[in-house]
Structure 1
Amino acid sequence: MTTPSPSRAPRRIVLLTGPSGSGKGVVSRRAGVPALNLDDFYREGDDPTLPRRFGIPDWDHPASWDAGAALRALTALAHDGAAEIPTYSIALSRRTGSARLELGDAPVLIAEGIFAAELIAPLAAAGLLAEAIVLDRAVPVVFTLRLARDLREHRKPVPILLQRGTALALQQRDDMHGWVRAGLRPDGLRAAVRRIREIVVHAEAERHCRPASAARSRLRIAAVCFLRDAPAGTAPGTELLCVRKHGTGSWMQVGGKLDGEESAREAALREVEEELGVRLHAEELDPLGEFEAVAANEPGTVVHASVFLTRTPLPGPLQVRAELAEHRWIPLENDGAHGNGGRLAPLMREHILPALRRREASRRP
């Protein structure tokens, strides 16, 4: 059995929200903390599912924003200190490229945007949330700042900017009440800067005082690796199925906790049927190994995993079920840090991918 490798404490995340134009970017700059602009995770303007208002995409509606992609990026930044971030043009209503964000030794990251409240629950569950703040500023001030910014950046025609700005001003107090009910702390601009600086000081202290080997609980799980040959038209090689659970940002294998007295193989078969709707036979699962790693989504927990592999073909198009949000296939030669748009769970990165590569290499003539 392979034991878990030591892991550095992940960076803490401050969620910062408030009305459009209220000064969220100003707070990040004054606090001296690296920031992720959640606006860069808006959906493409030609997406037929994008809500519209005033004849343009409704950038104030949560459905205009890709929460899953934002959560994957934040998870990678918290644990790995770097991630590839899309760049989005509000004026063009589309993504224009991407850029790599690297945090260095910063112990705290700010994630700022009007939809930050949607990330409170998943980040808290993952042990990454430091604070959730909403900027509380006077309606006329916000209206003026927003209009000046939108005009300066030529975001949209002036009549639309005035119409949208007036509507946002009229609903600002109701929005503020909603943010506070969601668990955000209302602060003025200066108070928010002071609070974030305090969080940085505390995070630095925790980093230096953290025990070398903190006590962890252990969780027994079974996981299944589905392998396939890369499709025609792509680079030759072997691909591995990875999945992401709702409200999480890490890619992992199909599988889960053992239920009662069931064996690891029984649990693997049950999880495959529950999560993929596929019924396998016991003989279709080959043991890959027994591994331990830090849990991707449960703070202070180590998973002890019985890992199996199979080349049984999966139905297409594959539809994930139960607690799974999405699936992707990645090459076995993946660099181990990111799985096509997100962070690979430690079990995958540290143990499963290396073991699969060794096994595949032994099969070659």
Structure 2
Amino acid sequence: MVARRSGVPALNLDDFYRDGDDPSLPRRFGIPDWDLPACWDDGAALAALTALAHDGAAEIPTYSIAQSRRTGTAHLEIGDAPVFIAEGIFAGELIAPLRAAGLLAEAIVLDRPVPVVFTLRLLRDLRERRKSVPILLRRGTALARQQKQDLARWTRIGLRPCGLQAAVRRLRELVQLAEAESRCRALGGSSSRLRIAAVCFLRAAPAGAAHRTELLCVRKHGTGSWMQVGGKLDPGETAREAALREVEEELGAVLQATDLEELGEFEAVAANEPGTVVRSSVFTTRAPLPSPLQVRAELAEHQWIPVTADSPPSGAGRLAPLMVQHILPALHRRG
């Protein structure tokens, strides 16, 4: 459903189940327990994902759920798609190896009401004649009872819970980011580079919030991307000096050099300047801001977003590549 609505090509991980007559399979309800990772060939799935990422094509097994066995193979091509989806209940098993290989762009688990998931699963299984009706009902009921526990476990291992619409929006954002990076790589040495400084203003989240920390984001007039306060270094200016100057110009706040803590040096595609890569010195601060806060100079508006995971929060709008790829993950790792 997410793949269809987002237009992003997908690999169905259910095709990597092991054959039902494998004597090593765990069993429940008198049949193999297809909800346990031991029933699934994670090595073959990872190899196929790696081939798709590097070569754009892979040989994929075709699996008959009704017959509980592989029936052949198929050639899957994703063409020049900048990202693709791997979907299935065992997707979380691949987070660590994909991240280690530098292939993971995002890990999402759909968070939907239990009755909706039960109904959609049953309708799909009946339509595809996956198993007998009594088995489907017993299995569906068991999965519904443990859905909340499964969601908590998937969240712990690194998947981000999202509603359907939020997941579709996030996938489209990833496509835009990947396409922007591809255009910059195509420019090669002719791409321009900017040296900038950026400041992450942090504050404690309101009492009762699910997150602990919030990050200030700003948007410039005539643009659609949210980013950090900051800008280009003037000739002879250090990154810290530029950061202090930009904060005063854009927010009317006067900070001291000791108010800024280094987060890191990062490179990313510029959000608002095609064919440009920015190299940014990023600082953090919890220094107080004017109240009420009013952005100035070239800024149009501001917002505070939660720092919750290695990915942008839903509802935050389109975030600059520097934020998505580097700043938010670095803030989350730092805690």
| Distance (whole Å) between structure 2 residues aligned to residue 146 and residue 110 of structure 1 | 19
| Distance (whole Å) between structure 1 residues aligned to residue 160 and residue 85 of structure 2 | 15
Shift of 1:152: 1.3
Higher relative contact order by CA 8 Å / sep ≥ 6: 1 or 2? 1
The secondary structure found in structure 1 opposite 2:62 is strand
| Distance (whole Å) between structure 2 residues aligned to residue 160 and residue 211 of structure 1 | 53
The secondary structure found in structure 1 opposite 2:146 is helix
Aligned residue identity for 1:177: A
Work out which of the residue numbers 11, 30, 33 in structure 2 matches 1:58: 33
The corresponding residue for 2:172 is: 197
Work out which of the residue numbers 11, 34, 56 in structure 2 matches 1:36: 11
The corresponding residue for 1:306 is: none
| Distance (whole Å) between structure 2 residues aligned to residue 51 and residue 195 of structure 1 | 36
After superposition, give the CA deviation of every residue in 1:227-276 in whole Å (9 maximum; x if it has no partner): xxxxxxxxxxxxxxxxxxxxxxxxxxxxxxxxxxxxxxxxxxxxxxxxxx
The corresponding residue for 2:184 is: 209
Work out which of the residue numbers 69, 81, 92 in structure 2 matches 1:94: 69
- Pair 1:126 & 2:124 matched: no
Q: How does 1:217-256 map to 2 (within 5 A)?
A: none
| Distance (whole Å) between structure 1 residues aligned to residue 122 and residue 79 of structure 2 | 35
| Distance (whole Å) between structure 2 residues aligned to residue 212 and residue 69 of structure 1 | 36
CA RMSD of aligned residues (A): 1.3
- Pair 1:103 & 2:68 matched: no
Work out which of the residue numbers 188, 192, 210 in structure 1 matches 2:163: 188
Work out which of the residue numbers 147, 154, 165 in structure 2 matches 1:172: 147
Shift of 1:154: 1.2
**TM-score normalised by the chain length of structure 1:** 0.51
Q: Which runs of 5+ in 2 are unaligned?
A: 190-335
**TM-score normalised by the chain length of structure 2:** 0.55
Aligned residue identity for 1:78: A
Aligned residue identity for 1:146: R
Shift of 1:151: 1.2
The secondary structure found in structure 1 opposite 2:106 is strand
Aligned residue identity for 1:157: S
Runs of 4 or more, structure 1, over 4 Å off, are 211-214
After superposition, give the CA deviation of every residue in 1:270-309 in whole Å (9 maximum; x if it has no partner): xxxxxxxxxxxxxxxxxxxxxxxxxxxxxxxxxxxxxxxx
Q: Which runs of 5+ in 1 are unaligned?
A: 1-25, 215-365
Aligned length: 189
The corresponding residue for 1:159 is: 134
Q: How does 1:305-324 map to 2 (within 5 A)?
A: none
Shift of 1:210: 2.3
Work out which of the residue numbers 56, 76, 92 in structure 1 matches 2:51: 76
The secondary structure found in structure 1 opposite 2:48 is helix
- Pair 1:150 & 2:125 matched: yes
| Distance (whole Å) between structure 1 residues aligned to residue 43 and residue 82 of structure 2 | 23
Aligned residue identity for 1:70: A
Shift of 1:213: 6.9
